Structure 1
């Protein structure tokens, strides 16, 4: 009987420690922060994409265009309702921004683990590109 009680208490302690463990991926990123900016942020015209409603929250992309090229991308609206959303988007949005600037269009890959946000990003990005008369 004593062994059973010790086993039960040690198992319970292990479960509590496991669920209280934090991964330490960094501080949360406030919603108003631009996750990343492109090269050449010094001028151009900004075009807002439509707000894309996704399963986890809205996504909106703003592009800056100068001389017919995307010079900067910001994401002022993205899912940040909980720590998991913040962790996912802290990793995914800079990747999407870099790919957008490199591709100069909306034909970019989704980010694994952030498919829903990626799809909303691409939808809003395409609307911004349409507003800027870029393909």
Structure 2
């Protein structure tokens, strides 16, 4: 009888711990805009021109990239449209989009690596980014 009681209490405690475990950090908003440090010199003409890439449809949702160009260099990248249909999408993109944005500013092109675990979003990002670069007449 003691064994059964101990077993039931242990099982109940394990189930309570299992179901109370939080698997995500909540709905974290993805920082989707980054500006290159030291990109401008101040004064007139540093606002730049913004170019919007086409909306790239992906399996998980649309992706669109906009870039700001000053003196032929990408100084800022914004991702106004990206998959955020559920918690998993938000969690993946909160991690992937800042990496893609930083790589874009560093590479100054669409020749960037995909983010592991966010391949579909990365492909859509690169497609929209290339469209924005084409509008800006950049490589």
Shorter chain as denominator, the TM-score bin is 0.7 to 0.9
Q: How far apart in 1 are the matches of 2:119 and 2:4?
A: 45
Unpaired stretches in structure 2, ≥5 consecutive residues: 41-45
User: TM-score, normalised on structure 1?
Assistant: 0.83
Instruction: Flag the structure with larger Rg.
Output: 2
TM-superposed CA distance for 1:64, in Å, is 0.4
Unpaired stretches in structure 1, ≥5 consecutive residues: none
- When residues 111 and 7 of structure 1 are mapped into structure 2, their CA distance, relative to the original with a 3 A threshold, is same
Q: 5 Å matches for 1:88-127?
A: 88-127=92-131
Structure 1 runs of 4+ with >3 Å offset: 1-13, 23-27
Computed over aligned residues only, the root mean square deviation of the Cα atoms, in angstroms, reads 2.4
Q: 2:62, 2:124 within 8 Å by CA — same for their partners in 1?
A: yes
User: TM-score, normalised on structure 2?
Assistant: 0.81
TM-superposed CA distance for 1:16, in Å, is 5.0
Q: Which of residues 27, 34, 40 in structure 2 aligns to 1:37?
A: 34
TM-superposed CA distance for 1:25, in Å, is 3.5
